Structure 1
């Protein structure tokens, strides 16, 4: 079935923001709620969206969304998260940053920090921070993933194991409501697990849309984090778990 113009625009909106809301679409296109629900049903039948309460999200599966598409999704939220996280990173400290467009947003907000030692397996983070002349950058070895500039594999994990940084700042592909951090690539997950276990403090940076996505590989639990930086309040059940685990939740503004 060919998509009509409105459905193609809906799909573009979903690709940009990660999800769409029925009421917002009805107002935007000046059509009824039932018309939008029918559009979302057809897009779901086409295998490009998954229906959720009140709207739809980009379909999740066993592979991640393309890097350039992820970079554009929720860009304002990622900027706010990056700013909030960077505000808690002092000068004169060491940091590990892993793969992801949200960790890159943190890197951009660290440009005015002084005397940082940054360890990363993210070539994009390294390229961002190269402009900060007081920042020492240490890039892991490993297999380069051209799709997103990530370095992964046993060499990467072994390199990371040599450090005990002050902070680890990690991003994920999905966050489950039971508190598990999830990703797609087992090689990348091994690196993320190693990073989280090395630092004196471990921070997760993620926008709320990650709760609408799924991925097959578990990294760690929210209970193993010191803080979560997110753009909206987490669901109440997950907030309660964070309180039980003494994991601080920072809602970026």
Structure 2
């Protein structure tokens, strides 16, 4: 079934948040409650959403992919981080990004820019920004991971090493005062570590839930990135380590 633009936005909002108030949708989309209810009715009849007490939510959330579920976790924090980072990226800039839920949110915030050159191993980032506003998107090849649809391995690493970009942005799974920036998967850590050497400005984006976590694989030390962008001030020990490393800490407003 084909949906109109508002209905597509309603579905995207439900996927991001899990559930959303119908009155909030009307406010966000600047239409009346009656209009929103008309848009929602076909979505409910098609089994895409369910309605309950002034709320809508996704149907069959138990069948949702793990990556999509993680996209919703701390979504408002990720959105604040993404908007802050996107504000520093201009039309015509070159950006390299790894896979991650926060980088996927950033990709959506970059849809308002034009003439970008994007290099990524994330099929979600590539799909979001390809053929939009004159962008050029380069997608690394390699073995695809089923969960996040990203490419990893030697071919992906060799591909991105050919580029030099203005902005490198990586997401991170854990920030430990001693271990530094860490990830749970060797292939993802290898890719993130590689692209940090491909840009003029190296930015790490992570929400506050990743602080004081320790993961299996070290990606980089604090001194190996230029800035860390997050949604809340980190614990004192991490803040001290960032300051000692000369890494800029930015709290997204």
Determine helix, strand or coil for the equivalent of 2:134.
coil
Aligned to 2:43: none
2: CA distance, partners of 1:66 / 1:215: 19
Of 177-186 and 218-227, more deviation after overlay is shown by 177-186
Q: Return the alpha-carbon distance in structure 1 between the equivalents of residues 188 and 238 of structure 2.
A: 25
Question: Residue 240 of structure 2 aligns with which residue?
Answer: 240
Partner residue in 1 for 2:108: 108
3-state SS, counterpart of residue 239 of structure 1? helix
Distance 1:245 1:235 in 2: 16
- 1:92 corresponds in structure 2 to 92
Q: How far apart are 1:212 and its partner, in Å?
A: 4.7
Shift of 1:146: 1.6
CA offset at residue 195 of structure 1?
Answer: 0.3
Stretches of structure 2 that go unaligned for 5 or more consecutive residues are: 1-15, 18-64
Q: How many angstroms does 1:179 deviate by?
A: 5.8
Aligned to 1:89, the other structure's residue is in SS state: coil
Q: Is the 1:141–1:151 contact (alpha carbons within 8 Å) kept by the matching residues of 2? A: yes
Q: TM-score, normalised by structure 2?
A: 0.72
Distance in structure 1 (CA, Å) of the matches to 2:179 and 2:187: 21
* Distance (Å, rounded) in 2 between the aligned partners of 1:131 and 1:81: 25
Partner of 2:121 in structure 1? 121
Q: Which has the higher contact order (CA 8 A, sep 6+)?
A: 1
Which residue of 2 is the match for residue 177 of structure 1? 177
- List, as ranges, runs of 4+ consecutive aligned residues in structure 1 with deviation greater than 4 Å: none
Distance 1:66 1:223 in 2: 32
Matched-pair contact (CA < 8 Å) for 2:179–2:218: no
State whether structure 2 residue 76 is matched by structure 1 residue 79: no
**2:219 partner SS:** strand
Q: How does 1:207-218 map to 2 (within 5 A)?
A: 207-218=207-218
Partner of 1:23: none
Deviation at 1:131, TM superposition (A): 5.5
Please report how far the alpha carbon of residue 197 of structure 1 lies from its aligned counterpart in structure 2 after TM superposition: 1.2
Q: CA deviation at 1:93?
A: 1.4
Report how many aligned residue pairs link the two structures. 191
What runs of 5+ residues in structure 1 fail to find an aligned partner? 1-15, 18-64
CA distance in 1, matches of 2:243, 2:235: 12
Q: Distance in 2 between matches of 1:204 and 1:84?
A: 12
